[in-house]
């Protein structure tokens, strides 16, 4: 018997020996996520999904077949899946919706709100911030103002921490809209608090934002939360009319006047201040 034949027989004996552990099956590279009460099915790359959030890693990292997220929005999760294939893949969603018409723009609104909240719960900071930017862009492109239904949803139906940044943005939107609608800001303040007086956390945030603008000497009628300047420098004169690049981002406090980490660039392109000098 040749050496090759002996090796083959030994290998066959090992493969048929029931005392040996079985050959491990390959771990599947895809997984299925069911979303919403209707269990909308998404099939996607398991490793990529697990890498983006510990939530998915803990539930799918062992190669489990599928996951059901009954309370999430299928439209929002669809945007998350699109983002998984490249963060820039969401850059044009507002422009595309606007090109299709007002109905498509309206249909994008709640998925973006839900996407921001979902990313916040999953602690996917970049996606959370991008969803916030897209909401600002959508409201600016459509010349929208915040509806009471959105305020009630964020303050009555959502947990505080996931919604903290979008709440801050909504308050800034309402302060500017209310002030622009009346020359008497005190009357506007009373009217707004009366309309949403059943939401004490909203009233607290509203008054805190007014106080912050007053300390900074900014005119609430001009400060438009739909607009953001391209950097975080405080001295830029455009700050009177818009918000800093990272005002509603997760890293707002850590970045300060530095560049937005999502941009991958410095703030050298930031316009000069009124006196012609760049901000500090």
- For the chain, the domains span 146-253
Residues 6+ positions from 154 with CB-CB distance below 8 Å: 163, 166, 167, 170
Closest CA to 43 of 72, 73, 76, 78: 78
Sign of the Cα torsion 191, 200, 212, 160 reads negative
- Say whether pLDDT at 198 is over 50: yes
Mean pLDDT of the chain: 82
- Asked whether residue 277 carries a pLDDT value surpassing 50, the answer given is no
Among 34, 35, 26, which residue's Cα sits nearest to residue 63?
Answer: 26
Q: Residue 191 is inside which H or E element, if any?
A: helix 185-195
Beta-bridge mates of residue 41 = 34
pLDDT of 85 higher than 80: yes
Residue in 21, 71, 69, 19 with CA at minimum distance from that of residue 49:
69
Give the tens place of pLDDT for each residue, 93-104: 999 999 999 999
CA distances from 68 to 34, 37, 276 (A): 4, 9, 56
Quick one: average pLDDT of 139-161? Answer: 93
In Å, how far are 69, 181, 189, 214, 259 from 236, measured between CA atoms?
Answer: 44, 26, 28, 18, 14
Q: pLDDT tens digit string along 10-28?
A: 666 665 655 556 656 655 6
């Amino acid at each position: 018997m040749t050496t090759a034949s002996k090796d083959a027989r030994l290998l066959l004996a090992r493969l048929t020996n029931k005392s040996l552990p079985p050959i491990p099956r390959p771990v599947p590279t895809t997984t299925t996520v069911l979303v919403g009460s209707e269990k909308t099915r998404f099939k996607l790359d398991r490793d990529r999904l697990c890498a983006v959030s510990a939530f998915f890693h803990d539930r799918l990292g062992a190669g489990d077949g599928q996951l059901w997220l009954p309370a999430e929005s299928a439209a929002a999760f669809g945007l998350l899946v699109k983002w998984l294939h490249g963060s820039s893949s969401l850059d044009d969603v507002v422009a595309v919706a606007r090109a299709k018409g007002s109905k498509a723009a309206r249909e994008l609104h709640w998925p973006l709100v839900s996407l921001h909240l979902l990313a916040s719960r999953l602690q996917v900071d970049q996606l959370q911030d991008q969803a916030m930017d897209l909401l600002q862009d959508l409201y600016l492109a459509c010349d929208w103002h915040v509806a009471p239904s959105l305020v009630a949803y964020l303050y009555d139906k959502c947990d505080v921490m996931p919604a903290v940044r979008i709440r801050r943005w909504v308050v800034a939107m309402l302060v500017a809209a209310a002030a622009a609608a009346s020359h008497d800001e005190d009357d506007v303040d009373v009217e707004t608090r009366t309309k949403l007086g059943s939401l004490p956390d909203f009233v607290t945030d509203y008054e805190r934002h007014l106080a912050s603008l007053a300390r900074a000497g900014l005119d609430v009628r001009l400060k438009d939360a739909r607009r953001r300047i391209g950097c975080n420098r405080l001295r830029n004169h455009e700050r009177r009319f818009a918000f800093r690049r990272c005002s509603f981002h997760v890293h707002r406090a850590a970045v300060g006047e530095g560049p937005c980490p999502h941009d991958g660039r410095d703030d050298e392109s930031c316009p000069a201040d009124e006196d012609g000098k760049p901000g500090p």
